Amino acid sequence: MRILDVSLVTQAIKEMCIEANHFLAEDMRCVLDKASQEESSTLGRQILEQLQENLSIAGEDMIPICQDTGMAVVFAEVGQDVHLTGGLLEEAIHEGVRQGYIEGYLRKSVVGDPIFRENTKDNTPAVIHYKIVSGEQVRLTFMPKGFGSENMSKVYMLKPADGIEGVKEAILNAVKEAGPNACPPMVIGVGIGGTFEKCALMSKEALARPVNEGSPIPYVRELEQELLDKINQLGIGPGGLGGRVTALAININTYPTHIAGLPVAVNICCHVNRHATRVL
């Protein structure tokens, strides 16, 4: 049994808050560079070049990549052979977010009640998803999710008879409806199967998967490529102003489901798809 003080969790979350909001993850940098080379529209190339310039300035001058520094989403994979001490894990995560957003001078965008909407002033609470896994490590993935793209996300409760063609249509419709509002070129996370809430969670998890890693399931990997090609034929383009590159990647996760259902969730993210990971 390994002993781990939760103060290390707080420190890691704090660091990731600042890192993810100022520096693009390496997998995203690679696909953005590729997009700049492949974009056929002159205006589209100019927009992609401006986005890359913005990223460079953000890193050099420690200015957030985007003014919307997001609502903090944390995936915590906790090894069952870890004993956490020094406090509650959940409180440690919230404290890390609080410190990161205050000390990093990041915009605080969270309101304490969805109706009365008073700002919490430190971007807490985070949205935390836990998973108990084997081993004696804690793996933390931090994702600051901006709401320009989050608001464009969809859940579809399809019928089994809709089949794979219905799934494709649902995903394409979600992207079409998002249009320029999701700050394209987009990254698209998809969850297929499970239940209403499970498919939504899978779509969020899919965004955290490196975009250069296709699904390990052959037919899903082919579906990812097919849909990416179709999305990039929609003509929405960078900034929604036309062009070839509407999406940088699409990641799909699947899970068993009920004989009567075919849930599909589409979680859309903007071109930066911010995320960072630490293993403790």
Tens of pLDDT along 148-175? 999 999 999 999 999 999 999 999 999 9
The rounded percent of the chain whose pLDDT value lies above 70 is 100
Give the pLDDT score at 57.
Answer: 92
Q: Is residue 82's pLDDT more than 90?
A: yes
The b-or-e profile of 226-249 (16+ CB within 10 A means b, else e) is: ebbebbbeeebbbbbeebbbbbbb
The rounded percent of the chain whose pLDDT value lies above 90 is 90
Question: What is the tens place of the pLDDT at every residue in 205-244?
Answer: 999 999 988 999 999 999 999 999 999 999 999 999 999 9
Q: How confident is the model at residue 84 (pLDDT cuts 50, 70, 90)?
A: very high
pTM check: above 0.75: yes
Q: At what angle do helices 42-61 and 26-38 cross, to 10 degrees?
A: 150
Cα distance between residue 73 and residue 210, in whole Å = 16
Q: How confident is the model at residue 200 (pLDDT cuts 50, 70, 90)?
A: very high
Q: How confident is the model at residue 249 (pLDDT cuts 50, 70, 90)?
A: very high
Give the pLDDT score at 37.
Answer: 87
Q: Is residue 38's pLDDT more than 90?
A: no
Q: How confident is the model at residue 51 (pLDDT cuts 50, 70, 90)?
A: very high
Q: What is the mean pLDDT of residues 89-116?
A: 97
Give the pLDDT score at 102.
Answer: 97
Q: How confident is the model at residue 4 (pLDDT cuts 50, 70, 90)?
A: very high
Q: What is the mean pLDDT of residues 56-69?
A: 92
Q: What is the mean pLDDT of the chain?
A: 95
Q: Is residue 17's pLDDT more than 90?
A: yes
Q: How confident is the model at residue 123 (pLDDT cuts 50, 70, 90)?
A: very high
